[in-house]
Amino acid sequence: MKVLAILYRGGEAAQQEPRLLGTIENQLGIRSWLESQGHEFIVSDDKEGPNSDFQKHIVDAEVLITTPFHPGYLTRDLVEKAKNLKLCVTAGVGSDHVDLNACVEKGIQVLEVTGSNVVSVAEHVVMSILLLVRNFVPAHEMIERGDWMVSEVARNAYDLEGKVVGTIGCGRIGYRVLQRLTPFNCKELLYFDYADLPPDAAKAISARRVADLKEMVAQCDIVTVNAPLHEGTRGLVNADLLKHFKKGAWLVNTARGAICDKDAVAAALKSGQINGYAGDVWNVQPAPKDHPWRTMKNPIGGGNGMVPHYSGTTLDAQARYAAGTKQIIENYFSDLPQEPANIIVGKGKYESKAYGQRRLKEKALDRLCEAAAPQLRIVVRDRMVAEERVLEDKNGMLISMGCRKRGGGGTEPYIVRHTWRSCACPSSLTMSVAERAQKLRSLVQMLADSAEVVIKEWELEEQTSNIGSTPEVPLPSPVLFEARRIFEGACGMGVDLIQDPYLRLSVISGSFFDSRALRIAAEVRVADVLDQADPKEGMSIGDISSQVGIAAQHLTRILRCLCAIHIFEEVKENVYANNATSRVLVRNEGLRCWLMIFNNEVFTAADKLPAVLLAGKENSPWQEAYGVSTDFWQWLDEQVPGPDGTLVPRPERAIWTEGMWGFGLEKVQAAGVLFDYPWASLGSSTIVDVGAGTRGVSLGLAEKFPDLRFILQDRPFIIREAEEVWANELPEALSTGRARFMTHDFFEEQPVQGADVYIMRHILHDWADDVCVKILTHLRKAMGPNSIILNIDNVMQSTAGSSFLKAAPPPLPPNYGCAHSQSNHHDLYMYSMFNGAERTVEQFDALAARAGLKVTKVWECRSLSSITEMRLAD
């Protein structure tokens, strides 16, 4: 396979500094890795013209690597010539040098290392702002000349405190810029973007969204550009917009040079309309020697803070994007799923809206709004779900304007004048009817689109089952997993949108009866009883009653409650049958025990949750409910008198052991863990499974990856049980010494020093933060310089989203809303039972930092659990 990389020439600096990975000299550090696998690797900085190395080798390359700092411009013509090209990787962030539409049409995947430069660029922006505001460059040039005239530089030097700063674009970088400006006590932080920040995120930095760009720049002392380049942002900062800038404002652009009109910026600086311009991006790159931005000045000879494009290519950033590039290519070679946030173009379709695929519709709508009567003003701008905006006339009456499809093709404008005022919209205090209608239509379309994906996956599953191919583990494909949670999230948001709020809250308040009904059905094994009947004919309530021992009139209530939420089916009055959901309970002791757990100890603990929270007690709700001071695990390990008076293990322990496994590794919680982490890349590494349990994740890994070696650690009686399980299920691992067992308490010093990998599955979520820090500290002390910790737990995401995790498509909240409910339930379950918690990435990172570690990556898996990777802190 041929891999082509277009990188920049580093010269002597790159020869002296091997960490300059983005250069042709150091080649992202991947040459030996690629060649060891038999791949051809061509690296060059020669990218211009028909005889360049770029155009010569692109014709038969399968993988192309480029960078934003020395971009190889992949035009439509080159895409047509690149007959073998399957993958284009941007080693960094920003793929505007690639013709994305052409790649969509040709099925070429385009990926970038999302997030690799966000900190570097945000810091550079803040630095540039300070350089301009403090008039630093002329002051330094004065010193170099040997002069000393304080007044010459001080006359144009200001404080950042008290200034208004606005960002055009408030994504990963723009938000971090505002975040880093908060300690400077600016007068106000503003942002212009197509949608509001999540409320918590905006509140955290006290930022305000301004819906009109001209209105925002007119208020700002400093404007910074942090938006991607696409057809909607090219030339955005032009002569017309610059006229609306506050006289003497400063402008910083580290996004893309083409967003700012070079001649208009130079003229505005020369005239004094703006006081300074700084950045590191040019159009094109490298910038020609006569580019006006190299030498432009304000009227008093300063205001130029331009540098080469290096804000996102610090040594730290290069390490991140080099590692990310290697991972993308490794995933491609191994046919593993890519990090969703990295995918710009998937196989034949856009996976990101960051490059303005909808901008043409927005421009058409802008023209429609501008043509409206002068008395109309836009009250909701750039927040349409499809192609509609809501305006308000001078009397406060709402008007919807938009574009709709014509019957014969094309689009036509429409205007709807509503009969209520904006301050009195029915049923909603925050959305107009037009907004709610658009959101509902968007959700319906989302449901239809995701349903088609699900149906295709069903059909594919049917085809593979017909040829005798069955999966090792019932794990959805990546596309099915994504479609399911989009569908579930859209259903939940749709219900919230259309249901009466009083009724909705009432239904939620009574939903614990669903749980209790399910517990009863599981305890008496209704699914097993119904399995005896013809699925189409069902079984009468009388016959079911006689077998389960519950009076028919009461059992009817239980089953009808469950049928209403599609568990079991009432085929005709008082006759019931299993359906697809209830059928998984048939002779499924593990799942049955899990449902019993949730409705016994967990339910009892949850009953005490309000009292514990309101009283501010330190004990867990479970401890309060059971009146004990020991933690749950100590209680579960106790022996109690049996029927004959001898001490025996608690009966609950058998239920918990079976339930945790029945709902565990190969079922719901962690099935994706086996497949969505590159375990094969670990080779013959030794994995220390801390708190392994009887089966744990290691048994599945040992079966699937025969080169891996394991040391399983747990308490003595757990280890004894584990040895029996492994002897029965994977004796080869014991006989060859691939699996060893060790008695160990993770609250004590870790005896295995310098292991390749330490894994913990569902350990940290059982404990409060201070305890987790103790556990992690013991591991940190045992780690070698290249050791990693893989923590397998639920990774929470709030509705405000996380820069570390994939976000759901709008209008869903970033965490997929209703589809994330089980994670929230588990978080409350952990607290109620153990004073523990399910945690966000940010919370894991905080724990890691306290223990001398850092979170380096989160592997989102197709299951409730994901993998958080930790390494030694720098």
- 468 among the known binding-site residues? no
- What tokens appear for 376 in the block? 């109309």
Catalytic position from the list 275, 285, 298, 669: 285
Residue 18: predicted pLDDT = 93
d(CA 506, CA 499): 11
- Residue 792 binned pLDDT confidence (cut-offs 50, 70, 90): very high
Q: Based on the residue annotation, tell me whether 256 is a catalytic residue of this protein.
A: yes
The DSSP symbol for 674 reads G
What average pLDDT does the segment 318-331 reach?
A: 94
- 543 among the known binding-site residues? no
pLDDT for residue 398 is more than 90: no
Q: What is the residue-averaged pLDDT of the chain?
A: 88
Q: Amino acid identity, residue 284?
A: V
Residue 663: predicted pLDDT = 57
- Count how many residues are written for the chain: 874
Per-residue pLDDT tens digits for 525-569: 999 999 999 989 999 999 999 999 999 999 999 999 999 999 999
Residue 684: predicted pLDDT = 95
Residue 864: predicted pLDDT = 87
Catalytic position from the list 26, 55, 109, 117: 117
By the 8 A CB rule, do 761 and 687 touch? no
- What tokens appear for 417 in the block? 């004048």
pTM for the full model?
Answer: 0.54
By the 8 A CB rule, do 835 and 847 touch? no
The Cα-based distances of 764 to 588, 664, 714, 753, 864 in angstroms read 28, 16, 14, 21, 15
What average pLDDT does the segment 454-476 reach?
A: 73
pLDDT for residue 414 is more than 80: no
- 436 among the known binding-site residues? no
pLDDT for residue 660 is more than 80: no
Burial state string for 860-874 with b = 16 or more CB within 10 A and e = fewer than 16: bbbbbbbbbbbbbee
CA atoms within 13 A on the CB side of 271: 12
By the 8 A CB rule, do 411 and 386 touch? no
Q: Quick one: which H or E segment has residue 540? A: strand 539-540
Worst-scoring range by mean pLDDT, 50-54, 199-203, 321-325, 765-769? 199-203
What average pLDDT does the segment 415-426 reach?
A: 43
By the 8 A CB rule, do 620 and 831 touch? yes
Q: Omega of the bond prior to 308 within 30 degrees of 0, cis?
A: no
- Residue 456: Cβ within 10 Å count: 13
pLDDT for residue 795 is more than 90: yes
Handedness of CA 139, 145, 148, 151 (dihedral sign): negative
d(CA 37, CA 1): 10
Question: How large a percentage of the chain has pLDDT more than 70?
Answer: 89
Q: Phi/psi of residue 780, each to 5°? A: -60, -40
Tell me the angle at which helices 696-704 and 716-729 cross, rounded to the nearest 10 degrees: 30
Strands 388-392, 377-380: pairing kind: antiparallel
What average pLDDT does the segment 86-114 reach?
A: 92
Strands 164-168, 222-225: pairing kind: parallel
Q: Based on the residue annotation, tell me whether 285 is a catalytic residue of this protein.
A: yes
- Residue 788: Cβ within 10 Å count: 20
Residue with tokens 């020369």: 270
Catalytic position from the list 70, 256, 484, 709: 256
d(CA 210, CA 178): 14
What average pLDDT does the segment 136-142 reach?
A: 94
Q: Phi/psi of residue 853, each to 5°? A: -125, 175
Strands 839-840, 788-796: pairing kind: parallel
Question: How large a percentage of the chain has pLDDT more than 90?
Answer: 69
- 229 among the known binding-site residues? yes
Q: Which of 794, 782, 697, 788 is nearest to 739 (CA)?
A: 697
Q: Based on the residue annotation, tell me whether 97 is a catalytic residue of this protein.
A: no
- Residue 68 binned pLDDT confidence (cut-offs 50, 70, 90): confident
Worst-scoring range by mean pLDDT, 26-30, 194-198, 401-405, 583-587? 401-405
The DSSP symbol for 288 reads P
Residue-wise DSSP of 786-799: T-EEEEEEEEE--T
- Residue 443 binned pLDDT confidence (cut-offs 50, 70, 90): very high
pLDDT for residue 395 is more than 80: no
- Residue 467 binned pLDDT confidence (cut-offs 50, 70, 90): low
Catalytic position from the list 57, 97, 124, 309: 309
pLDDT for residue 422 is more than 80: no
- 309 among the known binding-site residues? yes
- What tokens appear for 373 in the block? 């009567």
Strands 639-641, 839-840: pairing kind: unpaired
How far apart, in Å, do the first and last CA atoms of the chain sit?
36
Per-residue pLDDT tens digits for 595-610: 988 888 999 999 999 9
d(CA 205, CA 226): 17
- 172 among the known binding-site residues? yes
Residue 803: predicted pLDDT = 74
What average pLDDT does the segment 520-525 reach?
A: 96
Q: Which of 667, 725, 662, 718 is nearest to 693 (CA)?
A: 718
Which of 200-209, 609-618, 663-672, 768-777: highest mean pLDDT? 768-777
The Cα-based distances of 825 to 489, 807, 828, 870 in angstroms read 16, 20, 5, 26
Q: Based on the residue annotation, tell me whether 669 is a catalytic residue of this protein.
A: no
Tell me the angle at which helices 172-181 and 118-133 cross, rounded to the nearest 10 degrees: 50
pLDDT for residue 42 is more than 70: yes
Q: What share of the chain is helix, strand, coil (3-state, %, to 5)?
A: 45, 20, 40
- 173 among the known binding-site residues? yes
Rg, C-alpha atoms of the chain: 31
- 803 among the known binding-site residues? no
Helices marked H in 617-739 — which ranges? 621-626, 632-637, 651-662, 696-704, 716-729, 731-735
Q: Phi/psi of residue 3, each to 5°? A: -115, 125
- 93 among the known binding-site residues? yes
Residue 815: predicted pLDDT = 92
d(CA 870, CA 692): 18
- 128 among the known binding-site residues? no
- 310 among the known binding-site residues? yes
pLDDT for residue 11 is more than 90: yes
- Residue 383 binned pLDDT confidence (cut-offs 50, 70, 90): very low
Is the model more confident about 840 or about 408? 840
- 140 among the known binding-site residues? no
Q: Which residues fall within 8 angstroms of residue 99, CB to CB, at 6 or more apart?
A: 74, 75, 76, 79
d(CA 530, CA 582): 10
d(CA 632, CA 628): 9
What average pLDDT does the segment 171-181 reach?
A: 94
CA atoms within 13 A on the CB side of 175: 16
- Residue 410 binned pLDDT confidence (cut-offs 50, 70, 90): low
